[in-house]
Chain A
């Protein structure tokens, strides 16, 4: 099973709302990622978790707050977002840190619209 599951598939929120995106994998992977993708652009890395510890934060604004409750789950908490944050948010996982430690698998994404 090479599946990364993301919920919800679509999310519409106002600028004062608090919401969360969720991601789950059962492949035993020890690295998990959040990416942001705008239309017609490649994914941009936001956060990397390795063995449940945050290893990379690509200078992401604090209105995005990641959480890794256990090795299978990854959350992205959203608060006071701006309309320009509207994008496709992709979760991914890999056996170790992607690249030297294995293949990267993506979920289907959560389409976020901020009004």
Chain B
């Protein structure tokens, strides 16, 4: 059974800090991994989709990496801002049935 794990469950940092969110997966044949952001009571916003062949994807202050050999993906947030406070979820998108396997999420608080 494929699993996705995100540790820690919660993280609090001061504004301006660079930070890394972690995502571990057991699927050695992972095809892609998607990072989402969710604000309280809202839907999920897609941040980055990273293919196994790409290793890295960047969007603004966000950078996602994917290392199949170690079973890890990281989401790097540069110069964090209070507006970055949200829950961040990663999902293994390797199934050809449409089913994503989600991690439990990391809730980030950026303090002014």
Contacts and interface: CB of A to CB of B under 8 A. Distances in A.
B51 to A, nearest CB: 10
A100 B43 CA distance: 22
Which residue, A33, A43, A94, A111, has most C-beta atoms of chain B within 10 A?
A: A43
B32 interface: yes
Interface residues of B, number: 26
Interface in A86-107: 88, 90, 92, 94, 97-101, 103-107
Interface in A59-115: 88, 90, 92, 94, 97-101, 103-109, 111
A31 interface: yes
B96 interface: yes
Given A42-B104, A108-B42, A94 B98 contact: yes
Q: Which 8 pairs, one residue from A and one from B, show the smallest C-beta to C-beta distance?
A: A99-B93, A42-B102, A97-B98, A106-B44, A48-B98, A106-B43, A108-B43, A103-B49
Interface of B: 31-32, 34, 36, 41-46, 49, 89, 91-100, 102-105
30 contacts: A2-B46, A4-B43, A31-B98, A42-B102, A42-B104, A45-B99, A45-B100, A48-B98, A55-B98, A56-B97, A56-B98, A92-B44, A94-B98, A97-B95, A97-B98, A98-B95, A98-B98, A98-B99, A98-B100, A99-B92, A100-B31, A100-B93, A100-B94, A101-B96, A106-B36, A106-B45, A106-B46, A107-B43, A108-B42, A111-B41
